[in-house]
Amino acid sequence: MPKSRLQTGSCCAFATLAALAVASCAANGGPLGDQVPAQFGGLPAGTPARPPALAPFPAVHDLPPPRATQPLSDSDQLRLEKDLAAARARQEKLQDPHAKQRADTANAANKAAMERAAKAAAKVKPVTPQQ
C-alpha cells in the first residue's frame, strides 16, 4: 500500500526533530545520559561529575628509558637462585621438622620398588615367535 505524502512528511519531520533533540542535548556539555533525568533512564542522583578534561592516551609506541643499573650477570643470577633455594629449604625445615625424614623414607621406598621391578623384569623370559 503506498504511503501518502502526509505520512511520509510526518515521518521525516519526526526524524529531523529527534535528531535535533539528540544533537542539542549532546551540545550542552556532555553525553546524552548526563542530561536526561533519572526517571527516564539518565544517571542516578549522586553520580560523580565527569572530569573536565579527558585523560591522555598512554604512550604505546615510546620506548622505555635506558636502565639505571645493568642486568644481572649469569654468575650473579646463579648465586641468587642458590640463595633462594637455601632460604626455601630453611623455611620448609621450620614449617615441618620431619620433612627430610619423610622424604628419605619415600626415596628409599621408591628405590626398593625400582629394584623389585628390575628383578622381576630380569626373570621374565623374552618371547620368541614360533615358526
Asked if the model's pLDDT at residue 83 lies above 90, the reply is: yes
pLDDT single digits (tens) 19-67: 767 665 554 555 665 677 777 777 788 888 877 887 788 778 888 888 8
Residue 35, helix vs strand vs coil = helix
pLDDT single digits (tens) 112-128: 888 888 887 777 666 66
Tell me the three cell numbers of residue 39: 526517571
Which position has the grid cell 626415596?
107
Greater model confidence, 87 or 113: 87
The type of residue at 25 is C
Asked if the model's pLDDT at residue 1 lies above 60, the reply is: no
C-beta atoms surrounding 39 within 10 Å: 6
pTM of full prediction above 0.95: no
Greater model confidence, 4 or 24: 4
Tell me the three cell numbers of residue 80: 641468587
